[in-house]
Amino acid sequence: MKNGVYSLLKARFLINDDAVKNWRFIVFIILLAIIMIANTQRFEQKVFMIAELTNKVKELRSEFVDRRSELMKLKMESTVSEKMIEKEIFPSTVPPIKIKVKKEKEKNFLEKIWQ
């Protein structure tokens, strides 16, 4: 047992006659470790990017809500009338008149033309 641990610490398994098999296995494990580290790095970058984009979406959503409420205030009749008074445009004192077009007259007119 003592010789086994001692030979392991001195790395005799790397210089023995069948060391080529050991070196191949060690190189294979090192390549796997490098691939695993690279994969973890890419995963962490994506996680940070997702967190950053999530924060950006939250900011844009809050800005959208602010702009929408501001637009609603600007569209209110009282706000519009205040802006118009500043430009010396006053509301009409005469109510608007509806113009109604009767389709029967148009129909009769078209029938007379075609006859």
Over residues 4-38, the pLDDT tens digits come to 777 767 777 677 777 777 788 888 999 999 999 99
Q: pTM for this one?
A: 0.51
- Enumerate residues 6+ apart whose C-beta is below 8 A from 14: 22, 23, 26
What is the overall mean pLDDT for the chain?
A: 84
Residue 60, pLDDT > 70, answer yes
Domain coordinates of the chain in residue numbers? 1-90
Q: Measuring CA to CA, how many Å separate 109 from each of 72, 100, 112, 113?
A: 46, 17, 5, 6
pLDDT for 61 equals: 97
Q: Which pLDDT score is estimated for 72?
A: 93
Per-residue pLDDT averaged across 58-69, rounded? 96
At 81, the pLDDT band (50, 70, 90 cuts) reads confident
The predicted structure's pLDDT at residue 79: 87
